[in-house]
Amino acid sequence: MSYDVSVPFLHPVACATLMGATLVVERLLPQRWMAVLRWVLALAVAALIVGLGVAIGWFPWLGQIRLAAYTAFLLGGFLVAWWMLRSRMDALGARPDDLRSLVLTALIAGIIGARARYVIERWDDLVREHGRDVWWVALDLDRGGAVWYGGAFLAAVAVLIGLYRRRIPLLPAADLMLPATLVGLGIGRIGCFFNGCCFGGPTELPWGIACPRPPHHLVHPTSLYECGAAMALGLALWYGWRWRTRDGQVTAMALVGYGIWRFINEGLRGDHDVYVVWPWFGTLTTSQATSVMIVFGGVMLWAGVAWRRRPLSAMHTRRDGSGSGSQGP
């Protein structure tokens, strides 16, 4: 059964260029201008950039865009994470415009990073298959193919830059953002299930599902495992946030908890085609190798937070002086 449909729309590269250029131009405009004016001007400039790209011949105006269950759940995960963060926005000392920009930045950077890591890991195969057209294939986001860790890394870098520019403290912000991100990830993994990707290895367990590839034997529903684990961890940290004693504790627990879980779940996967060899660990998938680094980073952060013995920071008031100092829900 198909869970997607293609419809005529702007070419995917034109869409990505329009979104990225709008975001960049909006940040370059004077922040004292009204938000509506900044976004309208940014969109107009971005449209001119896209028109120039079409005129030069970099990409066409129109193409086919896939309306897929995967995309719907991915965007749904972002919206839920955004809604969760809005409920504690005052605790971040952030304005509504700040949060919108950060979430949009994370969305665009996440899509680019996820696609980029997929292409980098499979570059030789793509060159053999597509030859000189490989760059167009790499830029065509509508072809599918993404690695979540790649998107998470680039989105994290973009958000860190955004937090620094807005003078929002990093660790308190991360303590709020990571649990919401995990919940959003869990929702997005439902899309992986409908997309037939991220499936597991053979199993005889009663909840095994038919493999989307021949010979269609029963396999672990690893995308649903990931959905349940990510949402459970995210919600536990979200509601346990108020009982933290130091900034960074929630972030460290999120990194260690998710890294360990992802390492285990990757071992149940059956769709891998890229591996690395690590000392002491042997042959790992690239995501397992990344999970090891994430767990190590989480442990080091936990040790650093404990060693500094820095007390929990007070909730930050908004920069216009109107913050109440409440910790939120």
Q: Which residue has the higher pLDDT, 110 or 225?
A: 225
Are the C-beta atoms of 11 and 63 separated by less than 8 Å?
Answer: yes
**Per-residue pLDDT tens over the stretch 193-210:** 887 888 899 999 999 998
**Per-residue pLDDT tens over the stretch 23-51:** 889 888 887 888 888 889 999 999 999 99
Are the C-beta atoms of 260 and 303 separated by less than 8 Å?
Answer: no
Residue 273 has pLDDT above 60, yes or no: yes
Residue ranges of the alpha helices (H) in the chain?
Answer: 12-28, 35-56, 69-86, 89-92, 96-121, 123-130, 134-139, 148-165, 170-195, 222-240, 249-268, 286-308
> What share of the chain has pLDDT > 70, as a percent?
88
Cis peptide bond N-terminal to 215, omega within 30: yes
pLDDT of the residue at 316: 46
Looking only at the bridges linking them, the beta strands covering 282-285 and 275-278 are antiparallel
Q: Which residue has the higher pLDDT, 43 or 142?
A: 43
Give this prediction's pTM: 0.77
Q: Alpha-carbon distance 196 to 101, whole Å?
A: 32
**Per-residue pLDDT tens over the stretch 70-126:** 778 888 888 899 889 888 877 777 777 778 788 888 888 888 888 888 888 788 887
Most confident of 12-26, 66-80, 125-139, 251-265: 251-265
pLDDT of the residue at 71: 74
Cβ neighbors of 258 (< 8 A, separation 6 or more) are 182, 230, 233, 294
Are the C-beta atoms of 198 and 77 separated by less than 8 Å?
Answer: no
Are the C-beta atoms of 266 and 288 separated by less than 8 Å?
Answer: yes
